[in-house]
Structure 1
Amino acid sequence: MNKGKIIVGSAEWCALPQINVPAIKARVDSGAKTSSLHALNIVPFQKEGKPWIKFELHPLQNDPKTTVHCEAAVVDKRNIKSSSGHLESRYVISTALSIAEASWEIEITLTNRDSMGHRMLLGRQAMAGRILVDPEASFQLGELSGEILSKFYSTNVRKLTGLKIGLLASNPDLYSNRRIMEAGGERGHEMEFLSIKDCYIKLDGRNPEMHYRGGRILNDLDAVIPRIRPSLTFYGCALTRHFEAMGVYTLNTASAITQSRDKLYSLQLLINSGLPIPTTGFANSPLDTNDLIKMVGGAPLIVKLLEGTQGKGVVLAETKKAAESLINAFKSLKANILVQEFIKEAGGKDIRCFVIDGKVVESIMRTAAPGEFRANLHMGGTAEITKITPEEKKIAIKAAKTMNLKVAGVDIIRGQKQPLLLEVNSSPGLEGIEGASSRDIASLMIKAIEKDMKYKNSIT
């Protein structure tokens, strides 16, 4: 029976009046059991002896200036697997949903939905017995104009009074870049995305300049956050170095990024600092292949391309014969490779420690997808928050310091005798670690800039 039920499309405007949200666009998804809401800076507290939380919500997509401060009683805290496969612990609240002049209580989980197209997802539990979905339609209950939304949120717009910060990267739609742009805006800074390919340099001893698309001169930036993809390392670091010459603060320096991208040189720097790594070999002549294999303990072993990244160019050779064929094939192509011992006891898991300003701010355990030997989130791996040992913490901090990186992702595996350092990443992704931990890592990066530039922000 359809009597009395509300017919909606795949997306509709609704309201959450109990937490001061007069309008929010929701993705209607009967395939999802639980509803979810975009939330940042979640802070638990006690109210009359019961657990409550404070959080911030940006109800309008791609608008970090409009901020609603919310409070709600905590109903539960559950482990939920996101659509990207990340297991995260989420707070659950109960609040009133208003839609089509009807209102009822629903349970809703709080999570960072920046990578999603809508700030709210309406799941089937909230719709049961009240809503019918026409998946081919949308906004069956009407659209809201920009003018109406401006009136709703006129008192929630945060004025930008802070620094001017450029994000030097390639893809503005990448989760990590979107989060950094939003976090800077939340903290009152003027953020600008700078495409690496659209920047170009004027070399002049008296008046060095950075030009941007169409001839605009970038002469008003206080700071730059370089997030350079490996294929653009040379050009991106040249730009970063030029910003430094112009007196612009850079979160990671060009020299630090350059040395972190050179896998062989970075390993040499790390072992010179006394940091433990898996036994690794490097040779040029095919005549040395057998001794190279023997040097790292024989097969199975790992072969890594020096210019590979995010798990690409990393191959497991399970037998001596396979290792010989693989190494010689790479050498015949004049590819530079590292041969590294395979740490079987790691069980396809590694730890990503996110280091900011000399502190490990969060750590996750990454687990390889079935059939894979690498814990790679881009290849179906999963991530969950983990507690690291004091020794692992010390390794992560020392590794970032050795590489002179203010922000770094440090990858560690747990060997039979001790933790071993795999790699130090100068542009670590935020999606896996924010998804698993629900922490606002992007804001911590912005706070590191504020600290170094001695900028006093009234936003805590």
Structure 2
Amino acid sequence: MKRFIRIGVVTAWPDDDWHSQRLLSALGRRGEAIAIDPAALAAVVEGEDVAVTAAGRALGEVDAFVLARGLGRAGDPDVQFEIYRALEGAGAIVVNRIEPLLAAQDKFRTSWLLARAGVPTPPAAVVQSAEAADRALATLGDAVMKPVAGSLGDDVARVGRDAEGRRAIAERAARDGALYLQQYVPHPGRDLRVFVVGGETRAAITRHAPPGEWRTNVAGGGRAESTDCPDAVRQVAEAAAAVLGLDYAGVDLVIGDDGPTVIEVNGNPSWRGILEATGLDMADAIAEHVLGRALRGRMTSDHIVREPTGATHG
């Protein structure tokens, strides 16, 4: 008898993280969903195979894994990354895969991948000294200073070529050792967040900056409203997610004089603002996509990940 589809949601916060809870619920309505603590993962090399367990539990009958919150509150991040790579190498379906996630987290890598693929995105630079930052700012002009990795608008500031801007980038370079500069794209206090799942646009919102602020992040007080997604925006957002190799992504865009341009691509995006503005729960879209991939995977393999000798079943 065929068993239920079993999906592992990798998260250290199954009871606290809103997004993990939504994914576990959406997947649980379609099959069996199990929470997997990243810090409980282990891997064993047996001959030519790699076997992965979670707290001694064999994961050989898990049809797909969703990296909801892939870093645990304990354990070692580099080890966890390597285990995700081992899962993929063993033939497991992993959503989103670790390399696309790391590419999206790195703002400079995102910039050059998009630019190389011809996806419209602002000129950008990454620097490791105040002198290099000053030269980059001279080229970019009005720019947005950001950490190389991060989200939610934290430590993001506009800087110009004036004394204040040059002082700000020098202080940031000295503090962090590196910083990312992206040419500022003028916008009327609003931008677009497009949620792409399985290569298709599933929802879009316009995000409005709070009074006196240019940043539109909902987590920082921005206001979101449902919006129609023009075809040009849809095509650019879907292309951006595809370039980075993401199964699902939140793509932030500004529409300027030359059309839509991608500001950021989020590989682990929040969709709380989308749900509140549109009534659409992206957990359902992600679950349907993962289920489809898992069902197709069953056509080629009965067991996605091999089980190590002596592993126990939960």
Asked whether the two chains share a fold, i.e. TM above 0.5, the reply is yes
What amino acid sits opposite 1:381 in the alignment? G
Distance 1:169 1:371 in 2: 37
Which one scores higher on RCO, CA 8 angstroms, separation ≥ 6? 2
Q: Which runs of 5+ in 2 are unaligned?
A: 298-314
User: What is the match of residue 85 of structure 2?
Assistant: 241
Residue identity (%)? 25
What amino acid sits opposite 2:130 in the alignment? P
1:208-219 → structure 2 map (5 Å cutoff)? 208-213=50-55, 215-219=56-60
User: What is the match of residue 56 of structure 1?
Assistant: none
1:86-235 → structure 2 map (5 Å cutoff)? 162-172=4-14, 173-187=16-30, 189-213=31-55, 215-228=56-69, 234-235=78-79
Checking the alignment, whether the CA contact within 8 Å between 1:305 and 1:335 is kept in structure 2 is no
Distance 2:251 2:62 in 1: 29
Q: 1:343 aligns with which of 185, 192, 195?
A: 185
Checking the alignment, whether the CA contact within 8 Å between 2:198 and 2:248 is kept in structure 1 is yes
* Structure with greater Cα Rg: 1
Residues 153-183 of structure 1: CA distance to partner in whole angstroms, max 9, x if unpaired?
xxxxxxx963110111232222211111111
Checking the alignment, whether the CA contact within 8 Å between 1:256 and 1:405 is kept in structure 2 is yes
Normalized per residue, the structure richer in helix is 2
SS at match of 2:295: coil
Q: 1:416 aligns with which of 246, 254, 257?
A: 257
Distance 2:281 2:149 in 1: 31
Residue 355 and residue 424 in structure 1: after superposition, are their counterparts in 2 closer, same or farther (change >3 A)? same
What amino acid sits opposite 1:444 in the alignment? A
Once the two structures are TM-superposed, the CA of residue 375 in structure 1 deviates from its matched residue by 1.0
Once the two structures are TM-superposed, the CA of residue 235 in structure 1 deviates from its matched residue by 4.7
Distance 1:277 1:339 in 2: 13
Q: 1:314 aligns with which of 156, 163, 174?
A: 156
Distance 1:374 1:412 in 2: 13
Q: 1:372 aligns with which of 205, 208, 213?
A: 213
Once the two structures are TM-superposed, the CA of residue 294 in structure 1 deviates from its matched residue by 2.0
User: What is the match of residue 255 of structure 1?
Assistant: 99
SS at match of 1:268: helix
How many residues get paired? Answer: 292
Once the two structures are TM-superposed, the CA of residue 282 in structure 1 deviates from its matched residue by 2.8
- Indicate yes or no: 2:248 matched with 1:404: no
SS at match of 1:372: coil
User: What is the match of residue 309 of structure 2?
Assistant: none
Once the two structures are TM-superposed, the CA of residue 455 in structure 1 deviates from its matched residue by 5.7
- Indicate yes or no: 2:271 matched with 1:430: yes
TM-score, reference length from structure 2:
0.84
Distance 2:155 2:77 in 1: 17
Checking the alignment, whether the CA contact within 8 Å between 2:100 and 2:245 is kept in structure 1 is yes
Normalized per residue, the structure richer in strand is 1
Distance 2:110 2:272 in 1: 25
TM-score, reference length from structure 1:
0.59
What amino acid sits opposite 1:387 in the alignment? D
Once the two structures are TM-superposed, the CA of residue 389 in structure 1 deviates from its matched residue by 1.6
Residues 74-117 of structure 1: CA distance to partner in whole angstroms, max 9, x if unpaired?
xxxxxxxxxxxxxxxxxxxxxxxxxxxxxxxxxxxxxxxxxxxx
Checking the alignment, whether the CA contact within 8 Å between 2:137 and 2:161 is kept in structure 1 is no
